Amino acid sequence: MYSDQVMDHFMNPRNVGEIENPDGVGEVGNAKCGDIMKVFLKIENDIIVDVKFKTFGCGAAIATSSMSTEMIKGKSVDEALALTNKAVAEALGGLPPVKMHCSVLAEHAIKAAIEDYKKKHNK
């Protein structure tokens, strides 16, 4: 049902935790399934130098959170804004159709954290 990449990111999630004094924080949830994702960003010169997440949810939610944070670390804010849920799912070797909402949550959490950053820094 799940790819090796999904299982790896679920069993060994990357970038778990919080960032003290983050430059941006985004939190989103899905009322239907109960998944909640919170993303913390540390940004210097418009580059994401660190990113952490806390996710309450199923294995696919944790895997998409982990993969999406890996995909934006070291990228510019604009590059991170261009990340799509489809790119996250593809990087994980695909997701079952009933779990695609997890990759959407990851995309939305990152975008919410970037919006928070832009608001705080008048960008």
> Which CATH number belongs to the domain containing residue 74 in this structure?
3.90.1010.10
Measure the CA–CA gap between 45 and 98, rounded to whole angstroms.
Answer: 38
Q: In terms of Cα–Cα distance, which of 90, 23, 38, 89 is closest to 60?
A: 89
Place of tokens 């079952």: 96
Expressed as residue numbers, the domain containing 28 is: 4-120
Residue type, 60: A
Each of the 123 residues of the chain gets a pLDDT tens digit; together they read 899 999 999 999 999 999 999 999 999 997 777 899 999 999 999 999 999 999 999 999 999 999 999 999 999 999 999 999 999 999 999 999 999 999 999 999 999 999 999 999 988
pLDDT at position 80 is 97
Which positions are catalytic? 33, 102
Neighbours of 24 (CB within 10 A): 24
Burial of 33 (0-12, 13-18, 19+ CB in 10 A): middle
pLDDT at position 107 is 96
pLDDT at position 30 is 78
pLDDT at position 68 is 98
Domain count across the chain: 1
Measure the CA–CA gap between 119 and 102, rounded to whole angstroms.
Answer: 26
Q: In terms of Cα–Cα distance, which of 64, 52, 49, 45 is closest to 25?
A: 52
pLDDT at position 32 is 75
